[in-house]
Amino acid sequence: MTFSEQANNIFDEAIRLYHLHDDVDTPIENPYAKESIEHSLFLKNWIDTVQWHLEDLIRNPQIDPVEALALKRRIDRSNQERTDLVEDIDTYFYNLYHGVEVLSGATFNTESPAWAIDRLSILALKIYHMAEQTQREDASPEHKAKCQEKLDTLLQQKTDLSLSIDQLLADYAAGRKYMKVYRQMKMYNDSSMNPVLYNNKKK
C-alpha cells in the first residue's frame, strides 16, 4: 500500500466516524497509537472535518452575533491546531529522510509533504460532501448533474494529488529531492507579536 492510499483510507475513516453523530462537539476517539503517523493523519482529518462544519454553522444568516463570535474564535483556534499539526507531520518526514544521501543536483520542492497531505485531507471532505449533493432527494436533476460533474473533477484531483505525493516521497527516499521544515510563524495568535493583544495587556 502506498502512503497516499494509507492516508486516504484514514481520512475516509475519520470522516465516516465523525458523521455517525455529525456534531462538532463529538469527542475524538483516535484509534491509532500516539506518536504514530497514522494517529497524526487521523487527527489532521478530524480537525479539518470539525472545522468544515464550523464554517457551515457560522454562515447561518440567522446566527446570533455572540454565537458567531464564539464560533469565529473556535475556528481561529482550529486553524492554529491544523497548522501546528502540519508542521509536526513535516517534522516526521524530515526525520524519516534525514539520513538519506542527497544526490548531486537534488532539488527542493516548493510544497512540503505535509502541506500536500493537508490538501488531500480537505479533498476527501469535498468528495464526501459533493457526493452527498448528488444524492439529495430534495434537489433538482440539474443540481445533481452539476454536482456529479464537480465530483468527477474532485476524484480526478484526488488521483493526481495522491500520485504526486507518492512521487515526492519516492524522490526524498532516493535523494533526488531534499526537504526543510519551515515554521509558519503566525503572528496574530501570539500575544507578544499581535499589537492588539500586547497593547491590551498594558491597559
How far, in Å, CA of 13 to CA of 57, rounded? 23
- Classify residue 65: in a domain, yes or no: yes
pLDDT digits (tens, 9 = 90+) for 161-178: 999 999 999 999 999 999
How far, in Å, CA of 200 to CA of 203, rounded? 5
pLDDT digits (tens, 9 = 90+) for 107-126: 999 999 999 999 999 999 99
Is the separation of the CB atoms in 193 and 187 below 8 Å?
A: yes
Range of the domain at 87: 3-192
pTM, 2 dp: 0.91
> Can you give the C-alpha Rg of the chain in angstroms?
20
- Classify residue 198: in a domain, yes or no: no
- Classify residue 199: in a domain, yes or no: no
- Counting the structural domains of the chain, the total is 1
- Classify residue 165: in a domain, yes or no: yes
How far, in Å, CA of 108 to CA of 105, rounded? 10
How far, in Å, CA of 31 to CA of 198, rounded? 40
- Classify residue 201: in a domain, yes or no: no
61: cell is: 444568516
- Classify residue 56: in a domain, yes or no: yes
- Classify residue 179: in a domain, yes or no: yes
How far, in Å, CA of 42 to CA of 10, rounded? 6
